[in-house]
Amino acid sequence: METHSTQQVRVLCARVSEHMGHLVTVHGWLHSIRHLGQLAFVNVRDRSGIVQCVLEGELAKTPLSLESVVSVTGSAAHAPKAPGGIEIHAASVRCISAAAPLPFEINKKTIGARLDTLLDHRVLSLRHPQLHATFRIQAALAGAFRDYLCQHDFTQIFTPKIVASGTEGGSNLFPVDYFGRQAYLAQSPQFYKQMMVGAGYERVFEIAPVYRAEEHHTSRHLNEYVSLDVEMGFIRSDEELMDMEQEMLRYMLEKVAAECEAELAFLGVDVQLPADITRIPVAEAQHILQRKYGKTSPKGDLDPEGERLICRHVAEDGKPAFVFITRYPREIRPMYAMPAPENGALTASFDLIYNGLEITTGGQRIHDYEELTASIRSRGLNPDHFAGYLDVFRYGMPPHGGFAIGLERLTSRLLGQPNVREASAFPRDRTRLTP
């Protein structure tokens, strides 16, 4: 319950059933109105759910508009035909804040408006139970990620988002005027999480936004997204990282299934835990795609169609398809990627593809100062520009590695959403800067 300054006690819609035969007050948004003679059936929605309220006589004539914020006081009663088998026989109705005419209906099972329209009116569209459920589930995923890592002795860190240089030496950086100096929005916390490993924390993680100034406009990309980052020291190989991510994903999905049972049921999503995730070197994956599907891949990599097809290849009995793609060539991986022990032209790195979309990039990092400096130079970059990052490697750095999961991509794949913007509360892409 929540107590307000007027001493009036509020009951959440989902908890009205605990007060049968008693007077209750609910506050929320007016989800729907149905008039039937001298009666009006009003559904009120709050953060917990929806409850039906019955207005009789003069109350039924109360002028109300959809999505207005209202307060209803009345007696809680059983009603087999009402949603949840419960209703409130209203004694009073008060409009707290009237709503203007709506740009689209949000009291249907699904919203008929186009995605761009929903994003233009994002706060209104987020009121819809279907979209509301999406972000409840996303919050549970992030919470489970944190819980798992804290249980395994990881420390949560908070790193700068205004940086002096890019982590990957690329041009996809958003410039920032930093008191007359050139700075950038961070592409990744990569350097800082490695530095925190080297600072003696050994195991660290972060949940934070990252920024990519890439000129794409696809259903897969955002220019700002939430990255679930992990880094750990004293690893034996990248295999250890994949083992941990596999176990962590099982934990996350299992916890979400338990915590968000109602939301998942509403969306018609059956969460299935991944079995042991297949690991395929990228060269082998390319051969499979060529042989099985006649698909030609870009050099050393898979394109979006290839990611979808390789998941089709590993999928079994309609279960969700997870596959690790490993051993990417050095030329397409960042300068800090550790060369593969069996072939220096390849890296001890991986991507995780989930139902046709890459959700993770990770791998072992170079921990030797001289080797890392040489790798930076081999990319045509000046090590002096990375001095703050390189310095920690001069004073003893353990073998280490990590990975990053795109939270919006993970959410959209779990819920079967075709566009990653659906899993971003306020997406930022090449054309969208508001709301």
Does the annotation list 214 as a binding residue? yes
| Tens of pLDDT, residues 249-273 | 999 999 999 999 999 999 999 998 8
Give the domain ranges of the chain: 2-97, 123-423
Does the annotation list 231 as a binding residue? no
Does the annotation list 407 as a binding residue? yes
Q: Which two tokens stand for residue 417?
A: 């959403």
Does the annotation list 331 as a binding residue? no
Q: Which two tokens stand for residue 25?
A: 């007050």
Q: Which two tokens stand for residue 158?
A: 């908070």
CATH-assigned architecture of domain 123-423: 2-Layer Sandwich (3.30)
Nearest to 364 by CA among 198, 227, 231, 203: 231
397 close to 351: Cβ distance less than 8 angstroms: no
Does the annotation list 6 as a binding residue? no
Does the annotation list 308 as a binding residue? no
Does the annotation list 371 as a binding residue? no
CATH number given to 2-97: 2.40.50.140
Does the annotation list 220 as a binding residue? yes
Does the annotation list 14 as a binding residue? no
Does the annotation list 212 as a binding residue? yes
Chain-centre distance for alpha carbon 298: 28
Does the annotation list 365 as a binding residue? yes
57: alpha, beta or left, given left = phi > 0 and alpha = psi -120 to 50? left
Rounded to whole angstroms, the Cα distance separating 351 from 358 reads: 7
Q: How confident is the model at residue 83 (pLDDT cuts 50, 70, 90)?
A: confident
Helix (H) or strand (E) holding 225: strand 224-233
The average pLDDT across 60-84 equals 94
Burial class of residue 55, CB neighbours in 10 A (0-12, 13-18, 19+): buried
Burial class of residue 283, CB neighbours in 10 A (0-12, 13-18, 19+): middle
Burial class of residue 30, CB neighbours in 10 A (0-12, 13-18, 19+): buried
Task: Please tell me the pTM assigned to this model.
Answer: 0.93
Q: How far is CA 357 from CA 74, 83, 221, 320, in A?
A: 50, 37, 11, 12
DSSP structure class, residue 133: H
| Tens of pLDDT, residues 351-372 | 999 999 999 999 999 999 999 9
**Quick check: 317 pLDDT over 80?**
no
The average pLDDT across 206-227 equals 93
Q: Which two tokens stand for residue 187?
A: 């592409």
| Tens of pLDDT, residues 135-158 | 999 999 999 999 999 999 999 999
Rounded to whole angstroms, the Cα distance separating 129 from 123 reads: 13
Does the annotation list 370 as a binding residue? no
Q: Which residue has the tokens 């592409």?
A: 187
